[in-house]
């Protein structure tokens, strides 16, 4: 998605070889028009995949996911990272390690928002090591549902997440694939 790549080059900050800060348009301040365009791209790619619901992990994936769900006229479900007293009991949970934050968290999905007849599209803001995506996949598959595919806003292609998901046979569609990061350096895979 050329518009996204342009915004990353204009406003993104490569803080290191692995950290890309895009908080001016994706996850602190949100550019709604850009999110709508992302939703359009995800809809075009996944509209014939039989999707019944769209899942994301709180919180940075919510904006592009809600725009995709709106355009596909499908329910959106947010997988929770924080424990909740009201979600106790009838939930699926799995432990996910966040390399960015250096901690583990319990990814939680209420059983009332998924069933074995669902075909789920998972959308997330970043793909690096693949831990968040694999956690979401575990929850979907534990419920007996099917994963239609995984939509990623920004993929760090130099990290192992994409290769791991490809190897397991998941359909991964990324809007921007970063080939290399360095202090002040951002390079994309041209497709």
- Residues at the binding site for xanthine are 20, 27, 156
Which residue in 66, 162, 83, 182 sits closest to 121, CA to CA? 66
As annotated, the binding site for 5-phospho-alpha-D-ribose 1-diphosphate includes 128-132
Structural contact between residues 61 and 153, judged by C-beta atoms closer than 8 angstroms: yes
C-alpha closest to that of 158 among 129, 191, 190: 129
What is the per-residue DSSP string for 93-161?
Answer: EEEEEETTTTEEEEEEEEGGG--TT-EEEEEEEEESSSHHHHHHHHHHHHTT-EEEEEEEEEEETTSTH
- What CA–CA distances, in Å, run from 160 to 18, 130, 131, 149? 12, 7, 10, 18
Binding residues: 20, 27, 128-132, 156
As a whole number of angstroms, the distance between CA 87 and CA 80 comes to 9
Tokens of 159: 């990290």
Is the dihedral angle over the CA atoms 142, 54, 173, 153 positive or is it negative? negative
Structure tokens at 3: 């518009």
């Amino acid at each position: 998605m050329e518009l996204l790549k342009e915004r990353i080059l204009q406003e993104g900050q490569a803080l290191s070889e692995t950290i890309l800060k895009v908080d001016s348009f994706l996850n602190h301040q949100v550019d709604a028009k850009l999110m709508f365009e992302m939703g359009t791209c995800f809809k075009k790619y996944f509209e014939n995949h039989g999707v019944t619901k769209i899942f994301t992990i709180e919180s940075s994936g919510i904006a592009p996911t809600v725009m995709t769900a709106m355009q596909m006229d499908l329910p959106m479900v947010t997988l929770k990272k924080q424990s909740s007293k009201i979600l106790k009991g009838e939930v699926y949970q799995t432990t996910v390690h966040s390399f960015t934050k250096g901690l583990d968290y319990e990814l939680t999905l209420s059983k009332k928002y998924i069933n074995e007849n669902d075909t789920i599209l998972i959308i997330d803001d970043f793909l690096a090591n693949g831990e968040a995506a694999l956690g979401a996949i575990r929850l979907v598959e534990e419920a007996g549902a099917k994963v239609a595919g995984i939509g990623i806003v920004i993929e760090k292609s130099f990290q192992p997440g994409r290769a791991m998901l490809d190897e397991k046979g998941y359909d991964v569609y990324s809007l921007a694939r970063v080939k290399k990061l360095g202090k002040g350096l951002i390079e994309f895979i041209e497709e």
